[in-house]
Amino acid sequence: MGGEIVNADSMQLYAGLRVLTAGPSPEEAARAPHHLFGTVDPAEGWSVGRWLRAASAAIADIGARGRDVVVGGGTGLYFRALTQGLAEIPAIAADLRRTTATEFEALGEDAFRARLAGVDPAAADRIAAGDRQRLSRAWEVYVATGVSLTDHQASAAGALPTGSWRAVAIDPPRAALYARCDARLERMVAEGALDEVRALMARDLDPDLPAMKAVGVRELAAHLRGETNLEAALAAAQQETRRYAKRQTTWMRGQMADWPRLSGLDSRDHWRQFLALNPGLTV
């Protein structure tokens, strides 16, 4: 298409994790300009708001040069912010975050979710099971501002102009997707993922930083510390990758229900499907 690619994957942002996060290879990067891939130090923790500002600036710059933009990645919240806008919510005080964490532990997820439903039923309904971070965030926003996270988001700003973008979601068969997840982890280990994790561990970063939560970091780090063998670490990382893929699929079905789907596994077939969905597209 002669366009430029902007990253919308929260882990491919971070430097030093190209193999483990399946970032573009040097050969792939040479085929078209890429933006926001491997540009953030893992010691930083980018929020969706920070990504949106950086991505919006990149998109505006590319557009000013008369080129098309392809935004690609697997972080659904980034796409929602880009297409629906992002609410400006004040920073949450550290003491409130600590109080919320203590309350979550005391109540358990079900009771905490029920309490959230009393002030923000939409958030309590849409946040996936096990997503403690977003459940806590929704509660903290209400306590800090007196307004539900859902209401904040309803007044969101910063989205791409209506009619300026087209969207598709890749939705391959589940069994084939899981097989590719497993094969990809094996390839990552063969291509240097252990070296990436070893270098990350050497920095002794805060384990709560986003980069430290990239799928595979925890599992491979356990092997490097001698806590498990490589076979077991690989199996655990493969399982977590399949779980993540399932969560992505669930997000697409709930949050991107109106996005056209590209089925199958072959990228050339995806391209044919995309052109069929967009007959007026100039390529």
Residues with Cβ within 8 Å of residue 254, at least 6 apart in sequence: 126
* CATH 1.10.20.140 domain extents, the chain: 94-154
CATH H-level, domain 4-86+159-277: superfamily: P-loop containing nucleotide triphosphate hydrolases (3.40.50.300)
> Could you tell me how many residues make up the chain?
283
Give pLDDT, residue 19: 97
Mean predicted lDDT score pLDDT of the chain: 92
How far apart are the C-alpha atoms of 162 and 166, rounded to whole Å?
Answer: 10
CA distances from 192 to 3, 8, 167, 186, 222 (A): 30, 23, 33, 10, 16
Give pLDDT, residue 24: 95
* CATH 3.40.50.300 domain extents, the chain: 4-86+159-277
Give pLDDT, residue 157: 67
Task: Indicate whether 282 pLDDT > 70.
Answer: no
CB 216 within 8 A of CB 272: no
Give pLDDT, residue 121: 95
CB 248 within 8 A of CB 272: no
Digit-coded pLDDT (tens) for 95-110 = 999 999 999 999 999 9
* DSSP bridge partners of 169: 261
3's enclosing H/E stretch is none
CA distances from 1 to 32, 148, 157, 263 (A): 10, 42, 29, 21
Residues with Cβ within 8 Å of residue 205, at least 6 apart in sequence: 42, 43, 211, 212
Q: What beta strand segments (E) does 121-253 contain?
A: 169-170
Confidence class for position 91, pLDDT limits 50, 70, 90 = confident
Which class in CATH covers the domain with range 94-154?
mainly alpha
CA atoms within 13 A on the CB side of 126: 15
Please compute the mean of the pLDDT values over residues 60-82 and round it to a whole number: 94
CA distances from 204 to 119, 198, 200, 230 (A): 39, 10, 7, 22
Confidence class for position 14, pLDDT limits 50, 70, 90 = very high
CA distances from 98 to 111, 135, 259 (A): 18, 14, 38
Radius of gyration of the chain (CA): 20
Give pLDDT, residue 87: 73
